[in-house]
Amino acid sequence: MLKIVHTGDIHLDSPFSGLDERRAAIRKAELRGVFSSLMTYVRTESVDVLLITGDFFDRGFVTRETLSIITREFSRVPGCRIVISPGNHDPYTPDSVYAHVKFPPNVFLFREPTMTRFEFPEINCDVYGYAFTGETLTASPVSKTEENGRIRLLCAHADLDAPASTYAPVTSAQIAEAGFDYAALGHVHNPPELSEKNGCVFGYCGCLEGRGFDETGVKGAISVEIGDDGKKTVRRLPLSKRRYETDTVSVTGAASQLEIRERIRERIRERKYTENTLLRVTLKGELPPTLTVSPDIVADGIDEVFALEVRDATSPALNTDYLDTDPTVRGAFYRELKPRLADPDPAVRATALRALRYGLTAMAGENIAD
């Protein structure tokens, strides 16, 4: 039986720029830790081949600490063949980390933008692949493979079935016709289900650890076992330390920012979000026109999750018929803003709503929190 682990889009040394400095430093360390956990799995399960399908690094610069961790972990699995296909974030170039770091002898690196292969006859396996050598790769490098009785794998960074893409636009038909048994792809961080055509299972592993609210849910890698009879067993390995999640909370009728905060807490308890969750909450509904929402103030003190981002998408609960005919300065103020409140541009509408809320709050003699 051939044991394979498929990972990619790890983006080591990612800056986690959406977080404050303290949390970003924690997440950088956790990302390295999840990579080490993956390598522990490779070692304890006696994995034969580890496929890293591009964007192993977030950019060309890699810290000395990260390189030390990588070389140590790779050295601890001398019996595993580690195959890397550089992607658009970490292309193979003369000044790249790939060209200057001496990896252990069990590491095999694609260096050309055309498809080549590494042969491993001792485990009855060939691994095909290619490298990005710049930020783009406008043509598909995938072609027909040699039928020699060995298991054929693809390790590639590619944009599947996206013909206009500049990130290796490989098609499902090309993969199905090439003769692979398993095609490991990288580039898509939120992977769809794996596909199967002509006996080839193929698809994306997704990222190892989410890095933003566009990468929600549990992340990880893929385990593949190919038996001597050709039977394939494929399963996803949940490995991420934390997960990003997005949610909406109705705050209609809330009378204060404290009440809004409690409604968010109710949602956290209801959905069982934990300290391992990075949560973005969007507030929906209608609020009194004199209640100004400050997302930072609302989020302050909610420590049930690792990080909380609050977005205000509420609108003021207004008696617009009354304001339309109100002869006072309140009515005049509303009528002045009315065209902007109906503007097709959501940014214009949001600014107008905020101005209306601030103005009505001030006219009511209330403090404006921002």
CATH of the domain at 96: 3.60.21.10
Assess whether 211 and 346 both reside in one domain: no
Residue 314 in this model has a pLDDT that exceeds 70 = yes
Cα–Cα dist 364/61, whole Å: 55
Assess whether 226 and 333 both reside in one domain: no
Assess whether 171 and 33 both reside in one domain: yes
pLDDT tens string 349-358: 889 888 888 8
162 in any annotated domain: yes
Cα–Cα dist 237/345, whole Å: 43
Number of domains in the chain: 2
Question: Looking at 238, 260, 293, which one is the last position of a domain?
Answer: 238
Spatial contact of 50 and 13, defined as CB atoms under 8 Å apart: no
Question: Looking at 190, 208, 238, which one is the last position of a domain?
Answer: 238
* Mean pLDDT, rounded, for 316-326: 78
370 in any annotated domain: no
Assess whether 251 and 167 both reside in one domain: no
User: Which strands sit side by side in the sheet containing 232-238, from one edge to the other?
Assistant: 107-109, 81-84, 49-52, 2-7, 220-226, 232-238
Residue 6 in this model has a pLDDT that exceeds 60 = yes
Assess whether 180 and 307 both reside in one domain: no
Assess whether 147 and 249 both reside in one domain: no
177-186, 304-313, 347-356, 358-367, range with the lowest pLDDT: 358-367
Residue 370 in this model has a pLDDT that exceeds 60 = no
What is the CA angle 206-32-215, rounded to 5? 30
Residue 368 in this model has a pLDDT that exceeds 80 = no
**Which structural domain, as residue segments, surrounds residue 274?**
243-363
Q: Residue 367: its pLDDT value, please?
A: 65
pLDDT band at 111 (very low <50, low <70, confident <90, very high): very high
Q: For the chain, give the mean pLDDT.
A: 94
Q: Residue 175: its pLDDT value, please?
A: 97
42 in any annotated domain: yes
pLDDT tens string 188-234: 999 999 999 999 999 999 999 999 999 999 999 999 999 999 999 99
Assess whether 79 and 154 both reside in one domain: yes
Assess whether 229 and 254 both reside in one domain: no
369 in any annotated domain: no
* Mean pLDDT, rounded, for 132-152: 96
Assess whether 269 and 176 both reside in one domain: no
Is 61 or 159 the better-scoring residue by pLDDT? 159
Helix axes 64-75, 21-44, angle to 10 degrees: 10
Amino acid at residue number 90: D
86 in any annotated domain: yes
368 in any annotated domain: no
Assess whether 50 and 189 both reside in one domain: yes
* Mean pLDDT, rounded, for 18-33: 96
SS3 173: helix
Q: Residue 325: its pLDDT value, please?
A: 84
pLDDT tens string 257-302: 999 999 999 999 999 999 999 999 999 998 887 788 899 999 998 9
245-249, 322-326, 333-337, range with the lowest pLDDT: 322-326
pLDDT band at 254 (very low <50, low <70, confident <90, very high): very high
Q: Residue 301: its pLDDT value, please?
A: 86
Cα–Cα dist 309/186, whole Å: 29
Q: Residue 292: its pLDDT value, please?
A: 81
pLDDT band at 322 (very low <50, low <70, confident <90, very high): confident
290 in any annotated domain: yes
Q: Residue 315: its pLDDT value, please?
A: 82
Q: Which residues contact 68 (CB under 8 A, 6 or more apart)?
A: none
Assess whether 269 and 228 both reside in one domain: no
Q: Which residue has the tokens 């001030």?
A: 362
Assess whether 210 and 253 both reside in one domain: no
Question: Looking at 181, 204, 238, which one is the last position of a domain?
Answer: 238
84 in any annotated domain: yes
SS3 81: strand
Share of the chain above pLDDT 90, in %: 82
* Mean pLDDT, rounded, for 72-79: 98
The beta strand positions in the chain, using DSSP E, are 2-7, 49-52, 81-84, 107-109, 116-120, 125-129, 151-157, 182-186, 195-197, 200-204, 220-226, 232-238, 243-250, 277-284, 286-287, 307-312, 315-316
Q: Residue 9: its pLDDT value, please?
A: 98
Residue 333 in this model has a pLDDT that exceeds 60 = yes
Burial class (CB in 10 A: 0-12, 13-18, 19+), 122: exposed
Cα–Cα dist 201/58, whole Å: 27
